[in-house]
């Protein structure tokens, strides 16, 4: 297969001249694949481009792509992936740093897993046999490990251990050629989390292999101060996009509560009997939330037409009332069992609110605004 190893560089003049000859030597040990290197340079101000160009002049397997402007590592990879796929005919694309932190002698281990049928091979620092530099300070260790753990929990991808590693191999056919490269959520290091998630969602066969992440011994780190924040933003954006109707449903619930309180007071003080005011306010709040849910939270499956709306509104009011009735029993049972005090009462309220949210979301999304195929 044709393999293109993409190496992003920004002022890596001290490293790239060391890496390229090692890679060329390695390629001799991988005779079953045609291996190429594509260096994508973010318009370095040092000698990186000259060094790579002189290698490219001598070796048909080494290529240089120069960005007119540094666009961040994510932006650089997107440009290079496009060139690798559309101009170079890559069947496998690899990601590798220029600063020798990724051992170039591991390339064959990645390709062996592609040969075994895997689509996406991740060089992982957090599986057995993998390692991060012992010299890293607590801060960096914590950010790297904690970041992966956070992404793992938030994205529900339990099978993956290392979310931010930069050493990978991806099959083009069916995987990279199905990713929308232009909609990448970050131009910086956090693109890695975004692509990993999207590749996972495509149903790629993923394999994590252990790698030892070395220490950068020359040149400066390009990792930006904002990387952690940017990664957080990417993880939350993915979660929001996947669950936007749930978040909108929650906000609608809060707005409903506001209407409930406002009308309960407004009606009572305009002279209507308290009991009626309270019940009428609940009904008004339900009409408001039904309208918001129909036109916003579940907009893609919005109900139209008077008869459909009326029928579903009745189901809505009925089903939304059930958790309120259940609340009576939860509060009573907990108080009888654990004592009648402020803490137990409010704990019972929280339990019933959580049950209510879960029940309502279940009924709304599965029955009232169920997704129709297509
Ligand atoms: N083209 C391009 N390459 C970049 C950019 N930012 C970083 N790189 C390259 O991406 C690779 C990874 O960056 P590093 O600074 O090594 O990040 P790191 O390995 O997480 O951090 P260190 O351990 O400090 O080296 C290196 O080869 C960089 O030269 C960029 O904006 N554009
Ligand atoms: Mg590095």
Of the three residues 183, 212, 242, the one that is the final residue of a domain is: 242
The rounded Cα 72 to chain-centroid distance in angstroms is 18
Domain-embedded: residue 16: yes
Closest ligand to residue 215's CA: 1
Of the three residues 221, 242, 263, the one that is the final residue of a domain is: 242
Separation of CA 97 and ligand 2 centre (Å)? 6
Q: Of 154-158, 169-173, 219-223, 365-369, which range is least confident? A: 219-223
Domain-embedded: residue 373: no
Q: Are residues 258 and 190 in the same domain?
A: no
Residue nearest to atom 25 of ligand 1 (CA): 221
State whether the beta carbon of 76 lies less than 6 angstroms from ligand 1. Answer: yes
48 — phi, psi (to 5°)? -50, -50
pLDDT at 25: 97
Q: Which residues contact 223 (CB under 8 A, 6 or more apart)?
A: 189
Does residue 258 carry a pLDDT above 80?
Answer: yes
Residue nearest to atom 6 of ligand 1 (CA): 73
Domain-embedded: residue 81: yes
Q: Which of 179, 200, 120, 171 is nearest to 4 (CA)?
A: 171
Domain-embedded: residue 24: yes
pLDDT at 54: 98
Q: Are residues 317 and 282 in the same domain?
A: yes
Domain-embedded: residue 312: yes
Tens of pLDDT, residue by residue over 342-360, are: 999 999 999 999 999 999 9
Q: Are residues 85 and 179 in the same domain?
A: yes
Domain-embedded: residue 309: yes
Q: How far apart are CA 57 and CA 53, in angstroms?
A: 6
Q: Is 315 helix (H, G, I), strand (E, B) or coil?
A: helix
pLDDT at 355: 92
Q: Are residues 254 and 230 in the same domain?
A: no
For the CA of 76, the closest atom of ligand 1 is: 1
Q: How far apart are CA 305 and CA 162, in angstroms?
A: 50
Separation of CA 343 and ligand 1 centre (Å)? 52
Instruction: Look up the pTM and report it.
Output: 0.81
**Residue 115: domain span:** 2-242
Q: Which residues contact 276 (CB under 8 A, 6 or more apart)?
A: 267
Domain-embedded: residue 374: no
Q: Are residues 114 and 258 in the same domain?
A: no
Does residue 88 carry a pLDDT above 60?
Answer: yes
Tens of pLDDT, residue by residue over 183-227, are: 999 999 999 999 999 999 999 999 999 999 998 878 888 887 789
Q: Are residues 310 and 349 in the same domain?
A: yes
Are 68 and 43 within 8 A, CB to CB?
yes
Residue nearest to atom 26 of ligand 1 (CA): 97
Q: How far apart are CA 329 and CA 334, in angstroms?
A: 8
Of the three residues 225, 242, 259, the one that is the final residue of a domain is: 242
Domain count along the chain: 2
Q: How far apart are CA 51 and CA 9, in angstroms?
A: 12
Q: Are residues 70 and 194 in the same domain?
A: yes
Separation of CA 73 and ligand 1 centre (Å)? 7
Q: Is 165 helix (H, G, I), strand (E, B) or coil?
A: coil
Separation of CA 112 and ligand 1 centre (Å)? 26
Separation of CA 140 and ligand 1 centre (Å)? 15
Domain-embedded: residue 155: yes
Q: Are residues 203 and 297 in the same domain?
A: no
Q: Is 206 helix (H, G, I), strand (E, B) or coil?
A: strand
116 — phi, psi (to 5°)? -75, -5
Q: Are residues 260 and 340 in the same domain?
A: yes
State whether the beta carbon of 221 lies less than 6 angstroms from ligand 1. Answer: yes
Q: Are residues 52 and 169 in the same domain?
A: yes
Q: Are residues 197 and 224 in the same domain?
A: yes
CATH of the domain at 181: 3.90.550.10
Q: How far apart are CA 16 and CA 218, in angstroms?
A: 11
Q: How far apart are CA 309 and CA 302, in angstroms?
A: 9
Q: Are residues 280 and 228 in the same domain?
A: no
């Amino acid at each position: 297969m044709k393999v293109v190893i993409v190496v992003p560089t920004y002022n890596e003049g001290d490293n790239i001249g060391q890496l390229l000859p090692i890679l060329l030597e390695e390629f001799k040990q991988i005779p079953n694949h045609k291996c190429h290197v594509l260096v994508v340079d973010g318009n370095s101000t040092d000698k990186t481009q000259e060094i790579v160009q002189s290698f490219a002049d001598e070796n048909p397997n080494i290529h240089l792509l120069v960005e007119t402007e540094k666009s961040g590592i994510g932006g650089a990879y997107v440009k290079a992936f496009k060139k690798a796929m559309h101009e170079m005919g890559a069947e496998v694309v690899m990601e590798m740093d220029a600063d020798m932190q990724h051992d170039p002698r591991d390339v064959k281990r990645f390709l062996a897993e592609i040969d075994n049928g895997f689509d996406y091979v991740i060089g992982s620092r957090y599986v057995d046999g993998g390692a991060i530099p012992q010299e890293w300070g607590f801060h960096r260790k914590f950010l790297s490990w904690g970041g992966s753990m956070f992404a793992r929990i938030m994205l529900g991808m339990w099978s993956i251990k290392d979310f931010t590693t930069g050493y990978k191999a991806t099959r083009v056919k069916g995987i990279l050629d199905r990713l929308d490269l232009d909609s990448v959520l970050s131009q910086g290091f956090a693109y890695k989390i975004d692509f990993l998630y999207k590749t996972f969602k495509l149903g790629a066969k993923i394999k994590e292999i252990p790698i030892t992440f070395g220490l950068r011994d020359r040149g400066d780190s390009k990792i930006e101060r904002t990387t952690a924040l940017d990664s957080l933003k990417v993880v939350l954006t993915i979660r929001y996009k996947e669950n936007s109707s749930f978040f909108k449903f929650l906000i609608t619930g809060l707005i409903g509560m506001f209407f409930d309180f406002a009308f309960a007071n407004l009606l009572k003080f305009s002279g209507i009997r308290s009991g009626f005011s309270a019940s009428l306010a609940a009904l008004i709040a339900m009409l408001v939330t039904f309208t918001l849910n129909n036109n916003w939270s579940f907009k893609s499956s919005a109900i139209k037409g008077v008869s459909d709306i009326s029928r579903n509104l009745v189901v809505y009011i009925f089903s939304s009332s059930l958790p309120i009735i259940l609340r009576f029993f939860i509060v009573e049972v907990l108080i009888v069992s654990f004592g009648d005090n402020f803490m137990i009462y409010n704990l019972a309220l929280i339990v019933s609110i959580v049950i209510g949210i879960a029940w309502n979301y279940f009924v709304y999304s599965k029955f009232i605004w169920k997704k129709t195929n297509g």
